[in-house]
């Protein structure tokens, strides 16, 4: 697993075009730090529900709140922080080797995830204690 830290996490301004008709956000591979291989979204998360609860060995992710808001808890095994996402033109870049948990979804929220790899179960670390051992 990559020895990344929370300093590698970034909030990114997604290019936005706004006029009297509304706003348009465009995401293309040349505006990412990785090539997108998979796109999915989370929605209808029940009150009090959580998503994530894992780290990736190689996968990069960009999280975008298309609607509503949610918190993203992040840990590198030594430091932790929580990022509040609520603007569809602000994206959170999560690099490999970072534990993430998504919670406090507002009603009607939608979290778009752009991933650098297709789904591969072997890339996941789903146990926090194993994550901590891998980071040390």
Please check the confidence at residue 1 and state whether its pLDDT lies above 90: no
Structural domains of the chain in order of their starting residue, each with its CATH number: 6-135 (2.60.120.10)
**What is the DSSP track for 62-121?**
EEEEEES-EEEEEE-SS-EEEEEE--TTEEEEE-TT-EEEEE-PPTT-EEEEEESS---G
CA 105 to chain centre: 14
Q: Name the residues annotated as catalytic.
A: 54
Most distant CA atoms of the chain, gap in Å: 53
Q: What is the average per-residue pLDDT within 87-94? A: 96
pLDDT at 107 over 80: yes
pLDDT of 2 higher than 80: no
């Amino acid at each position: 697993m990559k020895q990344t830290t929370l300093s590698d996490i970034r909030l990114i301004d997604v290019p936005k075009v706004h006029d009297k008709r509304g706003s348009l956000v465009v995401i293309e591979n040349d505006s990412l730090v990785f090539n997108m291989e998979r796109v999915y979204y989370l929605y209808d998360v029940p009150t009090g529900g959580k998503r994530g609860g894992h780290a990736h060995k190689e996968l990069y992710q960009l999280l975008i709140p298309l609607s509503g808001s949610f918190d993203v808890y992040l840990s590198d095994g030594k430091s932790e922080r929580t990022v509040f996402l609520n603007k569809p033109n602000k994206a959170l870049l999560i690099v490999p080797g970072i534990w993430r948990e998504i919670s406090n979804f507002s009603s009607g929220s939608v979290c778009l995830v752009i991933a650098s790899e297709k789904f591969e179960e072997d890339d996941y670390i789903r146990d926090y204690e194993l994550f901590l051992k891998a980071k040390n």
